[in-house]
Amino acid sequence: MKWIISNSAQLDSTYDNFELKSFRFGNTFIASDTDFHSHSQSGITYYIFGKIYNLNKITQSPLSVNPAEVVATLYNQKGYDAFKILDGEFIIIIKSTDKTIAYRDRHGAGSQIYYTANYMASHPKLLKHFVHFKAEAHLDNLALFLKIGYIPAPDTALKGVKKLPAGHVLSISKLNAQIHDLFGYEQFGPIIDTKKISIEEATLQYETLHREAIWDRVSGQNKVQLLLSGGYDSGGNIAALRDVYQGEVLSYSIGFKNNPWSELPLAKILSETYGTKHFEYEINGSEIEFLPEIVDQMGDPFNESGMMVNFSAMKLVHQNREKGIILGGDGNDQHFGTAGRELAMHYIYKQNKVQLLQKLISQFSDLSIFEKDNSFFKVRFHNEKVLNILKSDNFGFRDRQIEDLFNQKIHLKQPSYLDVLPNTFENFDDLYRIHNFFGDIKQVINEIILFKASKLADMFNNSISFPYMSTDLYAFLKTMPRHYKLKGDVKTCSKGGGKSKFLHKSYLYPKLPKEITERKKQGGFAPLPIFFKDTKQFNKIAEQILNSEFCKQNLNRKMVEDFINGYRLQKDNVGNWFWYKQVQAFRIFNLLVLTLWWDNLIEGKTVEILSIK
């Protein structure tokens, strides 16, 4: 989905070759490559891009009514509160003569909004079509990307450009631009009294809400598509789907070649159990040749270990030439809360003053001995995972490495979302809730998982939706006590004995095949080194990094060469620890993504594909 919107059509001459259809509504210029809904009344125009699933339930209006007209009515009645009850993947833009208001759905599955004081667009490249706009990189934010693999909103990779966080309202007038969070931490709860709702009652209510979320998305569909892994989340979707829909279902699964922990056999069991027409694809590493196109699609520099899995899944759906809704299980882990063991350890260590030792170890962890595949690396990896559990995972370059990597002074600031983290927590449940909201939901779901899945679906004109992200399920789960999400006391959880997604599994344990419910927990991580295994392919990747304009203009070439050569020497060592190999490969990915992004967006070059054919 691509679109731009402005009070005037001040576009440069390159607009002659622009791929979007342009429209004018009053003093508003808008261009889009996709259909959208609009409605005007009293000098105000409402635009909706994407899908909202519950408008008819909220207003009892027929499905044939223009959604933009319904939203206009709701907005006039409730103001910003109207946005909070909408369920779907969408953006809303409201234009009047003196103000522009924009809203992104709660989990950011709709289009991204990049904006300046004068115009908005769904992609930073589109801003280059406006007169007087110059794409200038923000090196400090690019440095942050090299560390964590993304740039948290509202910051972007470009100076003078912001992006709207999920669940936020943007209001732009002649005087200023303001953003307002509609889903703050103060609304995350309150935790209900478990004496008022038993686990059995909560399970039944959760099941009902999940089934309703599925039905809202598939009602009226002649054919439904669904992503299957081999776990509780995608399994829950197909089980609930078959409770409400008996039509044709197509399912898609992605695996990795020669992976002993492949979930493809489990996905096939789900397909056979629930009667789907099933399609599979195994990643072999050659898929990285499409990375230039993926980088262009994502907008800001972006890298996440499952990115190539999402790409391959959406490509498989596209090749099947089937249209219609695709159900994904994304985000459910994070809704219930992740990293229970590390959080419990963090809590116990802080209570027992062990964090003093953790911080001491961290002070020495930039020494070269911690960069080898040895016990020191493992100690650092686990120590910092627990010590910094409330921060984004840092699988990229470390702060000291980044400072040395750039050939100019870099101010590596912490992401802005850390500024609003509560400074204290009363107990383990409180710590778990803080991590669940600020880490799992606000960052991993909103900035990474759903953004990634939606953008890659859009790359192939696929329509994907996420039932576990429904408004009603979110409202229900945020009130659940910690032990309905992660069962076990703090000591049990610290030893890995906590039962994650307890409510979810209570609901699905009787419904799913035993092969799914009784299997041991496996890694579930995409093995990134597979994309650098082929020597010819890796040499081409190294050439792209070293010969890129980004490397030439901004980086210490000797340090980059040393890192690449070091990776080349050890990349085929099968004995290396999984997470050591994963971190090194993630760093290569970050460098590659950043050089492709720079050459494309800053230099305006068409980057040669990375194919070795």
pLDDT of residue 572: 87
Task: Please give the tally of structural domains in the chain.
Answer: 3
pLDDT recorded at residue 259 = 83
- Indicate left, alpha or beta for 331 from its phi (over 0: left) and psi (-120 to 50: alpha): left
Whether residues 73 and 112 share a domain: the answer is yes
pLDDT for 175 beyond 90: no
Strand order in the sheet with 88-95: 37-41, 44-52, 88-95, 99-104, 168-173, 177-181
How far apart, in whole angstroms, are the C-alpha atoms of residue 528 and residue 520?
Answer: 23
CB 276 within 8 A of CB 251: yes
3-state SS, residue 365:
coil
Whichever domain contains 15, its CATH number is 3.60.20.10
Is residue 217 domain-resident?
A: yes
Between CA 286 and CA 306 the distance in angstroms is 15
| Domain presence at residue 382 | no
Q: How far is CA 171 from CA 74, 125, 179, 321, 543, in A?
A: 18, 22, 6, 40, 44
List, edge to edge, every strand of the sheet that includes 119-121: 21-25, 28-32, 3-6, 119-121, 114-115, 162-163
Residue 150 within a domain: yes
Angle at 152 between CA 383 and CA 386, to 5 degrees: 10
DSSP symbol at 192: P
Q: Report pLDDT for 23.
A: 62
Question: Could you read off the pLDDT of 53-102 as tens digits, one per residue?
Answer: 999 888 877 767 899 999 999 999 999 999 999 999 999 999 988 889 99
Do residues 191 and 322 share a domain?
yes
Mark whether 443 and 562 lie in a shared domain: no
pLDDT tens profile 110-130: 999 999 877 889 999 888 877
Q: Determine what percent of the chain falls in helix, strand and coil, rounding each to the nearest 5.
A: 50, 15, 35
Phi-psi category of 225—alpha, beta or left, where left has phi over 0 and alpha has psi -120 to 50? Answer: beta
Q: What's the rounded Cα separation, in Å, for the pair 430 and 439?
A: 14
CATH number where 241 lies: 3.40.50.620
Q: What is the mean pLDDT of residues 443-452?
A: 96
Angle (nearest 5°) at CA 439 between 394 and 188: 175
Listed in order, strand segments (DSSP E) in 383-485 are 463-465
Mean pLDDT (whole number) for 344-368: 95
- 3-class state of residue 141 by DSSP: helix
Q: Looking at the structure, do residues 170 and 236 belong to the same domain, yes or no?
A: no
pLDDT digits (tens, 9 = 90+) for 215-250: 999 998 989 999 999 899 999 999 999 999 999 999
HSE, side-chain direction, 13 A CA sphere, residue 99: 12
Instruction: Tell me: do 173 and 200 sit in the same domain.
Output: no
CA dihedral sign, ordered 461, 462, 468, 472: positive
Check whether residue 466 and residue 602 sit in a common domain: no
Q: Averaged over 441-459, what is the pLDDT?
A: 96
Give the pLDDT of residue 385. Answer: 95
Same-domain check for residues 66 and 84: yes
Residue pLDDT, tens place only, 530-577: 999 999 999 999 999 999 999 999 999 999 999 999 999 998 887 789
Looking at 187-191, 438-442, 583-587, which range is the least confident one? Answer: 187-191
CB 92 within 8 Å of CB 164 = no
Task: Tell me what the pLDDT averaged over the chain comes to.
Answer: 91
The tokens for 417 are 């979302």
User: Do 175 and 254 sit in the same domain of this protein?
Assistant: no
Could you report the per-residue pLDDT of 245-296, keeping only the tens digit for each?
999 999 999 999 988 778 899 999 999 999 999 999 999 999 999 999 999 9
Residue 122 lies inside a defined structural domain of this protein: yes
Q: pLDDT of 290-299, one tens digit each?
A: 999 999 999 9
pLDDT at 18 over 60: no
Specify whether 511 is located in the same domain as 535: no
Sequence letter at residue 487: K
Confidence of residue 416 (pLDDT cuts 50, 70, 90): confident
Sign for the CA dihedral angle at 25, 31, 35, 36 comes to negative
What digits encode the pLDDT tens for the residues 452-477? Answer: 999 999 999 999 999 999 999 999 99
**Interatomic CA distance for residues 512 and 235, integer angstroms:** 7
pLDDT at 16 over 60: no
Long-range pairs of 482-490 with CB within 8 A, sequence gap ≥ 24 = 482/191, 482/337, 482/428, 482/429, 482/432, 482/433, 483/194, 483/429, 484/194, 484/199, 484/202, 485/336, 485/337, 485/432, 485/436, 486/336, 486/337, 486/340, 486/432, 488/340, 490/344, 490/347, 490/348, 490/428
pLDDT at 24 (0 to 100): 60
Question: For 492, phi and psi rounded to 5 degrees?
Answer: -60, -45
What is the predicted pLDDT for the residue at 522?
Answer: 61
Same domain, 24 and 165: yes
Inside any domain, residue 490:
yes
Residue 127 counted as domain residue: yes
Query: Could you say which of 454, 483, 517 is where a domain stops?
Result: 517
DSSP states of 524-563: ----GGGGG-SHHHHHHHHHHHHHSHHHHHHB-HHHHHHH
Instruction: Pick the last residue of a domain from 517, 540, 559.
Output: 517
163 and 302 in one domain? no
Structural domain containing residue 457: 187-336+435-517
Query: Is residue 115, in this structure, part of any structural domain at all?
Result: yes
Tokens of 238: 């197909």
Around Cβ 552, how many Cβ atoms within 10 Å? Answer: 12
| Tokens linked to 558 | 């000797």
Tell whether 142 is covered by a domain. Answer: yes
Query: b vs e for 208-223, b when ≥16 Cβ sit within 10 Å of the residue's Cβ?
Result: ebbbbbbbbbbeeeee
Q: Is 577 exposed, middle or buried (0-12, 13-18, 19+ CB in 10 A)?
A: middle
Indicate the residue among 481, 498, 517 that finishes a domain. 517
Query: 15 and 117: one domain?
Result: yes
